[in-house]
Amino acid sequence: MSYNKSKALFEEACKHLVGGVNSPVRAFKSVGGTPLFIKRGEGAYIIDADDNKYVDFVCSYGPLILGHNDPDVKEATIKALENGTTFGASTENEIVLAELVKEAFPAIDKVRFVNSGTEAVMSAIRLARAFTKKNKIIKFAGCYHGHSDFLLAQAGSGMLTLSLPGSAGVPESVVADTIIVPYNDIEAVSQALEKHKDQIAAVLIEPVPGNMGLVLPEKDFLQKLRELTTSEKILLICDEVMSGFRQSFGGAQHFYNITPDITCLGKIIGGGMPVGAYGARAEIMDMVAPLGPVYQAGTLSGNPIAMAAGIATLTKLKDKSIYKHINNLTGQLAEGMRRIANENHIKMQIAVFGSMITPFFNDQRVTDYTTALKSDTEKFAQFFWTMIHNGVYPPPSQFETWFVSAKHSEQDIEFTLKAFQSSVNSVGQQ
């Protein structure tokens, strides 16, 4: 396989774009080599600048649950485009998408659309602080909630990939109100609540973290967290930017039967266009301008083209057979990975939630940030490039989740497991 065109494009990009990219994880820093430039996506596949074709498991880091270039999403987006791109005024599509979100998330009375997951979580925190009149926020090490200043502390995703514990340019004073506890450690949460009694506005969590790689909540962890926050009159904010509409037509909150006070969404609800959202019961949401004192705004919030892509996506996802298909395929992929790793005596943990999956090069189950960090990122880098050479495109980081789309097939899973076999063999010889 030749990568010459990607190499040339990357060289050019580095003259104009920081690190040649517009989001750090795309720079392939933790796997080395030159990032691939993608020119087209089709269903379960992406084609790079050198016309190499891959089975894609990045799926734009989550939005493309229907796969690339879904015909219904494309048709709806083009149709909306014919009426114009943006008006700086409300449109009917904002109502339609809000109704679809509310149908899937009964804990939401009212929604505010924004342009990214970062904006959604940032706004939700501001709202929680206003509603409770308290300032401190508890977050979990390894969870990533976008790049708002006060949340760039032991975050996951690109920060974990780049081994950045925090970010330059964020004053100590800004993160002073951010308390970090280990994921899955309810005792640590309880102690933090005690230590900062009556000062905590909210606990912010990815109910099923996907930014340390995929980590699953221990039995009753989320339920106990809900009980604890309820008894202490602390808001629970579920960041479902990644998990929303992923495992089912709802969120991890439904799978684990917890009712958050505020829910943040993104990715899938935009169908590949820039959309984020936060929502809660009316008592909380009505504090947001223009009804209340919490200011939040956005030139392109509720953009009609993005709304159309989101509506087409969520409407299609009401067909439960889609979830049955992608969750089953992901189960097959996981089982195949486990079998191959065992047969080749490679210590791996394969975490699965719906159509999210992460193969960890780790000899122990990954339950939090500390155990995630014990993964062998050098082995992952070797594995990653062998998968690429075998026509499979995983996320370029051990600490990202793979996504299966509705367009992946049994054949794609078989093809991927063959590539996995070769990749695990090459790692095993290290």
Catalogue the active-site residues.
144, 239, 267
The tokens describing 136, both together, are: 């401190």
137 scored as a contact of ligand KE4 (CB under 6 A): no
30 scored as a contact of ligand KE4 (CB under 6 A): no
242 scored as a contact of ligand KE4 (CB under 6 A): yes
Q: Rg of the chain over CA atoms, in angstroms?
A: 21
58 scored as a contact of ligand KE4 (CB under 6 A): no
Could you say which residues in the range 93-122 bind ligand KE4, by CB under 6 A?
116-118, 121
Minimum distance from CB of 116 to ligand KE4 (Å)?
Answer: 4
The tokens describing 364, both together, are: 């122990």
Minimum distance from CB of 345 to ligand KE4 (Å)?
Answer: 31
Residue 238 to residue 154: CA distance in whole angstroms: 18
Residue 181 to residue 323: CA distance in whole angstroms: 33
68 scored as a contact of ligand KE4 (CB under 6 A): no
Sort 417 into a burial class: Cβ within 10 Å, 0-12 / 13-18 / 19+.
middle
272 scored as a contact of ligand KE4 (CB under 6 A): no
354 scored as a contact of ligand KE4 (CB under 6 A): no
Q: For the beta carbon of residue 354, count every other beta carbon within 10 angstroms.
A: 22
- Of 336 and 395, which CB lies nearer to ligand KE4 in the complex structure? 395
244 scored as a contact of ligand KE4 (CB under 6 A): no
- Of 192 and 273, which CB lies nearer to ligand KE4 in the complex structure? 273
Q: Whose structure tokens read 């879904």? A: 70
Task: Please give the size of the binding site for ligand KE4, defined by CB under 6 A.
Answer: 21
Minimum distance from CB of 347 to ligand KE4 (Å)?
Answer: 24
Residue 236 to residue 157: CA distance in whole angstroms: 22
For 38, the 3-state DSSP assignment is strand
Q: Are strands 53-56 and 349-353 parallel, antiparallel or unpaired?
A: unpaired
Q: Which stretch binds ligand KE4 (CB under 6 A): 6-14, 35-43, 97-105, 142-150?
A: 142-150
x/- track of binding to ligand KE4 for residues 387-426 (CB under 6 A):
-------------x--------------------------
Residues in CB range of 162: below 8 A, 6 or more apart: 24, 29, 30
56 scored as a contact of ligand KE4 (CB under 6 A): no
- Of 139 and 379, which CB lies nearer to ligand KE4 in the complex structure? 139
Bridge partner residues of 138 (DSSP): 179, 203
142 scored as a contact of ligand KE4 (CB under 6 A): no
* Contact present, 269 and 97 (Cβ < 8 Å): yes
Could you say which residues in the range 291-350 bind ligand KE4, by CB under 6 A?
none
Minimum distance from CB of 414 to ligand KE4 (Å)?
Answer: 27
Residue 213 to residue 101: CA distance in whole angstroms: 26
Q: For the beta carbon of residue 347, count every other beta carbon within 10 angstroms.
A: 13
x/- track of binding to ligand KE4 for residues 157-186 (CB under 6 A):
xx----------------------------
Residues in CB range of 329: below 8 A, 6 or more apart: 355, 404, 408, 409, 410, 412, 413
Q: What are phi and psi of 419, to 5 degrees?
A: -65, -40
Site residues for ligand KE4 per CB under 6 A: 23, 25, 61, 116-118, 121, 144-146, 157-158, 206, 210-211, 239, 241-242, 266, 276, 400
